[in-house]
Amino acid sequence: MSGAERRLRIVMVASEAVPFSKTGGLADVSGSLSRALDRAGHDVVLILPDYPALRQGRSEAAIVNGTGLQFSLDMNGRAVTAGLNWASLPDSQVRVLLVSQPEYFDRSHLYGDTSGSYFDNCERFCFFSRLIPEICRKLVLQPDILHCNDWHTGLIPALLNTVYAGTRGLEQTASVMTIHNLAYQGQFQDYEFPLTGMPRRYYNMYQMEAWGHLNLLKTGLSFADQLTTVSPSYADEICLPENGCGLDGVLRHRQSDLVGILNGIDEQIWDPAADPMISANYTLSSRASGKATCKQKLQEVFGLDQDPTTPLLGMVTRLADQKGLDLIAAGIERILAAGVQFVFLGTGDARYEQLLSALPRRFSGRIGGRIGFDEAAAHQIEAGSDMFLMPSRFEPCGLNQMYSLRYGTVPVVRGVGGLADSVIDYDGQPGTLDRATGFAFREYSTDQLVQTIVRAVASYRQPDVWSRLVDNGMRQDWSWDRSAAAYLQVYERALQSVSSRQQAGRS
């Protein structure tokens, strides 16, 4: 029986997962994918660091129990001990194991504060990664698959194939490494290598070293049985020098093992028919009246002119260069000249916070926004906007364009990464209207952004065309069940790799 048909024992390992902790999309993916694999009939255990400060106030993450188990590791001459707690992932049978080490993880932020990244991030996540095989052994988890996510867990595939090779309970275990954003690699000074617990011979340009540094993401990419990333286009892009962030060589070497799988969304949380955070619920058949009510309320809340005929352009984003904010800053007057209102929500780099904070005062009644993050406001922007803006410099997957499509809000995006895979451009030709769902441009420039918004506004002024675009988008399937089926195929290939390697070793 294949891995896709039999019940697999899957250990999902990540540095964050909703509802226990979150800084970005990784947390959504690790929690939602675990649930989808559970729904598909597999035995899933999710292992995370325990961040007590980040659990406070989250009722769904509040019930955490101790196991009584203790683990101790030598961290470069210093004995460090951790406990293990357990909880359940809401709305699933997924068991959650939480590594409790207050010195490392009882902090107000996951990876750093306003001063920058924590000085001991290498030590924190090497410790976490090194505990995973020990947890699997002590709890007799006997995983078929260890699914590792981003640099924080990149050490695990290396340990599995070296230090723990042949260890009882892990002999048949295959590893899968997922890249959520190649720009974040876990690069540290070479003197921190002893924290990994790996033999020094593996610190070389083919396995754990990159450009003079210990690189934990490269470590995972070099040792894992299969590699994935979060969209097909991004899988192609990161194998090129201009997008490979210095790791394009190892990715090209492993390209036959690299698969791009588009993320899904939680269709229970992001459902306009039942969303408790928006002003009016609606379905495909009632979306015209529902969105009109949501738009009116959004204009009111953000101090925009009350005009139902003006297209409203929304944006919810991390304020960083990656997100194309330099294009918006350079072109805001031309964007408004296209005849739109603009509402934004986000937090991030201080310079972009300052720039965006000034816009509502400068363009009163036409621009509204808020610095910070507010989950309810994010839902309201998705429901009340006519269009959603994502002019990203690069975008491994993106989720907001999928939320937008589900809410009948037409995306305006740069066609890269997951945006290219999820938004079908309407070029104005009748033949594309049957499947088009939004508007996309390729060249990273303010001119292209403005021209694309102008195209979108022209279509907005054609009710029949706009209605078709909205309907096309709302009919898309972005469920995690679709994505989980693709991951199960990757797991099967990973298991075959382990079997082939073992057979080769016996011959």
362-378 pLDDT tens trace: 999 999 999 988 889 99
Tell me the per-residue pLDDT of 88-135, one tens digit each, with 9 for 90 and over.
999 899 999 999 999 999 998 999 987 889 999 999 999 999 999 999
Domain 287-478 class in CATH: alpha beta
Task: Return the pLDDT at 2.
Answer: 47
pLDDT at 257 over 90: yes
**pTM of the entire structure?**
0.91
- Average pLDDT of the residues in 218-229: 98
pLDDT band (50, 70, 90) for residue 430: confident
pLDDT at 330 over 50: yes
- Enter the tokens of residue 15: 């540095």
* Residue 461 Cα to chain centre, angstroms: 34
Inter-CA distances, 156 with 167, 219, 331, Å: 14, 9, 45
CATH topology agreement for domains 9-264+481-506 and 287-478: yes
Domain ranges of the chain: 9-264+481-506, 287-478
Q: State what percent of residues in the chain have pLDDT above 90.
A: 88
pLDDT at 3 over 50: no
pLDDT at 302 over 90: yes
Tell me the per-residue pLDDT of 448-503, one tens digit each, with 9 for 90 and over.
999 999 999 999 999 999 999 999 999 999 999 999 999 999 999 999 999 988 88
Compute the Cα dihedral for 165, 166, 170, 175 and give only its sign.
positive
pLDDT band (50, 70, 90) for residue 1: very low
Residue 265 is given by DSSP the state: B
- Average pLDDT of the residues in 240-264: 97
pLDDT band (50, 70, 90) for residue 312: very high
Inter-CA distances, 120 with 15, 292, 352, Å: 15, 50, 28
Lowest-pLDDT choice from 24-28, 272-276, 447-451:
24-28
Tell me the C-alpha distance between 289 and 267, whole Å: 22
Task: Return the pLDDT at 507.
Answer: 58
State the architecture of 9-264+481-506 in CATH terms: 3-Layer(aba) Sandwich (3.40)
121 closest CA partner among 189, 204, 221 = 189
150 closest CA partner among 17, 321, 53 = 17
Dihedral pair phi/psi, residue 176, rounded to 5°: -125, 130
Task: Return the pLDDT at 58.
Answer: 61
pLDDT at 180 over 50: yes
The three-class DSSP label of residue 16 is coil
pLDDT at 57 over 70: no
pLDDT at 68 over 60: yes
- Average pLDDT of the residues in 417-434: 95
Tell me the per-residue pLDDT of 377-395, one tens digit each, with 9 for 90 and over.
999 999 999 999 999 999 9
Element (H, E) at 228: strand 226-229
308: preceding bond cis by omega (within 30 degrees): no
Mean of per-residue pLDDT scores for the chain: 95
